[in-house]
Structure formats: C-alpha cells, structure tokens
Amino acid sequence: MVTLRTRPDIRRPAVAGTFYPAEAAALAAQVDGLLRGAKGGAGPESRDLVALIAPHAGYAYSGPVAASAYARLARRQPSFRKVVLIGPDHHVGFGGLAASSARAFETPLGLVPQYRAGVNRALELPQVKILDDAHTQEHSLEVHLPFLQKVLGDFEVVALVAGQASPEEVSQVFDVLLDDDETLLVVSTDLSHFLDYETAGRTDAATVEAICRFKEDDVGDRDACGRVPVRGLMHWARRRGLHAEALDVRNSGDTAGDKSRVVGYASLIFTRGDGLGLGEVARASLLEVADGSLRHGVLKGEPLPIVRDQYSTPLGDPGASFVTLTLDGRLRGCIGSLTPERPLVEDVAANAFASAFSDPRFPAVEGHEVDRLGIEISVLGPALPLAADSEADLLAALRPGVDGLILRRGENRATFLPQVWSQLPEPADFLRHLKKKAGLDAGYWSEDLQFWRYITESFSREVLGAPSPRQ
C-alpha cells in the first residue's frame, strides 16, 4: 500500500484500495486494460465530443462500462485541457451544488489541479457554494479521475457535487463553465439499484432512451442516482442542439456480480449537431405561429395571443428568437430577442408582429402583403461570455459561419446573427460592421467592450422561390 501525502489544500482519495487499486502501477494497468477492452471505443474520432455520462461504482463492476466512454474520449483530438466533473451527493444532503476549496485532487496517479478561475465563476451563481464536506468521502467524482488522467494527461478540473437542484439551475452552471472548445463535461451516475437482472435491463433501457431523447421528466428518482446532474445535462444539451449516443448499457450482473440484485450502468457521449435540435414539427409550428401573428396583427393590431398551457417542450420553454420578413426578396423587417424571457412560441409571435409593424426602418406591413412575405425564424442558443484581452484574441476566437455575436459598451449594444457571415466572411470585417451598428467607430477597442456569442437554428417559409436575404 502506497501512503499518499496529506496536505490541507489537497483533497485526498477516499476509495483508493476499495473501488480501485491504491498502488499507482496496478491502477494504471487496470485502467489501460479496461480501455483496451472497451465497447464502442473503436468508433470514429469524436472531434465534436462535448460531454459524456459514465458510471461510478467500483472498477470491477462499472469499470468496463465507464471505459467505453473514455475510450471514445481518447480518440478526440485535440485533447481537452479542462474538465467540469459533476456527480451526485451520497453522504451529506444539501441544496444546490457544492464546489471544493482544494487546490488539487489526488489519486495514486498524481495530482489533478482545480481550475480556480472556473470555480470562482461558478461561485458567482447563487446555487453554487463551497462545501468541502460534500467532497471528502464522495466517490462519484473520484473514480473518474484515474480514467481522465490516463486519457487526457495534464488537465485541470472543476469538481462539483450535486445536491438538490433543478435542471435549469444545473444548466446555468454549465453555461458559465463550458464556454470554449477546450472544456469537457463529465456527468457521473449509476442507473437503477438492486432490481433483478431482467427488470433492471428494461428499466435502464428506458432511462437511456429518455436521456437520448432529452425527456427530463422520464428520468425518475429511482432511475439514476445522478438524476440531478443528468437532468441538468439533458436540459443544457437540448438547448445546445447536441446529439446523444449510448455506447454501452449493462449492469453488475453482466460484469462482476450475481443477477438477483443488480446495479445498472451506462456510458453515453454528447456531440455537437446542426442547430438546436428543434425538429421538423416544432419548426413548422413556429412558422405557423409567425404567420398567424402577422394576420392577427393586420386585423387586431396586436400579436397573436398564445395560450401557454397548449405548448410543451421545446415551444413552451423560455426561448429567444429573431423573425426576419422579406418581400420580393428584399428585407421588410427584422426584430428579435437576445435573452429567453418568455416561452419560445410567445417570443416568436411577438417578434413576428414587431418585425411587421414596429421595425423603424420600414412602414407597417399592409394586409395585401402578408401572403407574399417570406418568413425566417432564427432561434437563439444561450449567449455565452466571450472574454478577450485584445481585438486579435477576439478575432481568433470567433467561428465564422457559426457564431452570432453580441457587443455591448454601456448603452451601445448590437448583434449580428450567424447568417451575417455570408455577407461578411472575414472576422475583422464582421467585427468592424458590428461596431458601427452599435454606434462605435470601426477601429474602436477598449477593455470596457463586452462580447457574447451564441448559435442559432434558422428555418424559413420562402415565397415564390425567392432567396431570403440574411440580416
């Protein structure tokens, strides 16, 4: 047995020697063996990998399933430099999410430093607090660290234990911490507990199906011990338009235990998709609402009334949108929202009306024009802070064709949707024109400038085959 160092600013391992080997060479050999034998590890290189779910029992039981996710992670190039690691509380009981004051987390393979800037950003949210007692004996985070050390090498971690929190509260933390392409999200959970083998198989298959379809309410309290972070991931992933893929679903009866009372395990990965994953039905419904709001506006002088109870996810969830109207291929109005302050369907109805009747650049739409209007709806993903110490840093961080950009300096504020890249494909031109739109000089730069980026899912109803100009 190797004696691990004791320091007050280091979180020492609590389950080394029980859940996994306490000796470094034996631990490294076991992890390497699990990765070599992993199911799903031979899949394609996952450049678009954003997050993963993996179990947290002893390696003899859940290690083969966890390895499926980590083997896929090993194929991701370039590697991540930071990891947000979140798992459920098994020992303390508290509300919100618990961060650690430790400088680093220790395993037999060495120290994993905490990413203090990330921890401090999370602590600005009211649902996050320092609670070291929640980390001291918690295994749901610890068992993932040796896998991450073997696969990623050097990295920093933001370690969070989840108590009682809503999906939205957890998702807000992810918004704050997952703001670049160098940060991976790892959610730790086991599935059903102590069912018989056949019942567990059916239950866990249904849970994994619910996760892949982002049906938060279908993951019940007995379906996953990490239901709080899992539901938060589902909420966040759906808004980001991610795709979920199950790599391995088994239980302890398949790995190292008897089949009379088993614990379920699953590994899943989440990758970037196109848009925000609204789906064809939701798109069609929003276009119908926008058209209805135009017609209601002509007759009644107000947006189409929305009965909120008639709409469920995603249309009933808070959302932000822009509605662009065209007439004979030319811009006729464009108004939108940057923050999700009302249900998405209500936001689209209001913005369609405003684009038709309140855009100061154009006269109000007349009734005879409605049938000839092209309608384009852009649904916005969350706006994420984009820190830059210089204009060169900002230009290097922008993703042409992908990012919408918000600029703000005091009362000066403007945004370009991602569609504007088709007109201004060079980042420097894109930024210069955005500054002008905000009422600033094209060459202006100051540390007072603030930026946020977002992605959109855009879809349209074209008229007479005319292309829709991008605004």
pTM of the model: 0.67
Q: How confident is the model at residue 59 (pLDDT cuts 50, 70, 90)?
A: very high
The yes-or-no verdict on residue 348 having pLDDT over 60 is yes
Distance between CA atoms of residues 201 and 214, nearest Å: 20
pLDDT at 47: 58
pLDDT at 439: 96
pLDDT at 8: 67
Q: Which helix (H) or strand (E) holds 369?
A: none
> Mean pLDDT over residues 431-450, rounded?
95
Pick 384-454's CATH classification: 3.30.1490.150, 3.30.465.10, 3.30.9.30, 3.40.50.10490.
3.30.1490.150
Chain-centroid distance of CA 21 in Å reads 33
> Mean pLDDT over residues 345-362, rounded?
97
| Angstrom distances, CA of residue 460 to CA of 173, 238, 286, 362, 384 | 33, 21, 10, 21, 25
pLDDT digits 0-9 by tens, 3-58: 444 456 999 999 999 999 999 999 999 999 999 999 765 554 555 899 999 999 99
> Could you tell me which residues are beta bridge partners of residue 129?
98
> Mean pLDDT over residues 429-452, rounded?
95
Q: Which helix (H) or strand (E) holds 333?
A: strand 330-336
pLDDT at 470: 38
Spatial CB neighbours of 354, under 8 Å, sequence gap ≥ 6: 303, 323, 333, 335
CATH of span 10-272: 3.40.830.10
pLDDT at 21: 97
pLDDT digits 0-9 by tens, 208-244: 999 988 888 899 999 999 999 999 999 998 877 788 8
The yes-or-no verdict on residue 270 having pLDDT over 70 is yes
User: Which segment of 2-16, 54-68, 391-405 scores lowest on mean pLDDT?
Assistant: 2-16
State the pairing for strand pair 82-88/183-188: parallel
The yes-or-no verdict on residue 468 having pLDDT over 60 is no
> Mean pLDDT over residues 182-203, rounded?
96
pLDDT digits 0-9 by tens, 290-299: 999 999 999 9
> Mean pLDDT over residues 70-75, rounded?
92
pLDDT at 322: 96
> Mean pLDDT over residues 262-282, rounded?
85
- Burial status of residue 73 (CB atoms within 10 A of its CB: 0-12, 13-18, 19 or more): buried
470 or 133, which is more confident: 133
Q: How confident is the model at residue 181 (pLDDT cuts 50, 70, 90)?
A: confident
pLDDT at 2: 43
pLDDT at 79: 84
Let me know if the fold of 280-381 is the same as that of 384-454: no
Q: How confident is the model at residue 431 (pLDDT cuts 50, 70, 90)?
A: very high
> Mean pLDDT over residues 92-108, rounded?
97
Q: How confident is the model at residue 168 (pLDDT cuts 50, 70, 90)?
A: very high
pLDDT digits 0-9 by tens, 112-164: 999 999 999 999 999 999 999 999 999 999 999 999 999 999 999 999 999 99
pLDDT at 386: 82
The mean of the pLDDT values for the chain is: 91
State the pairing for strand pair 404-409/373-380: unpaired
pLDDT at 463: 61
What is the DSSP code string of 68-94? HHHHHHHT-SSPPSEEEEEEE-SSS--
Share of the chain above pLDDT 70, in %: 94
> Mean pLDDT over residues 435-450, rounded?
94
- Sequence spans of domains, the chain: 10-272, 280-381, 384-454
Angle subtended by helix axes 227-240 and 167-177, to nearest 10 = 60
Q: 280-381 is classed in which CATH architecture?
A: 2-Layer Sandwich (3.30)
Q: 226 near 188, Cβ under 8 Å?
A: yes
> Which of left, alpha, beta for 148 (phi over 0: left; psi -120 to 50: alpha)?
alpha
Strands (E), 388-448: 404-409, 412-416
> Mean pLDDT over residues 102-120, rounded?
97
> Mean pLDDT over residues 264-282, rounded?
83
Length of the chain, please? 471
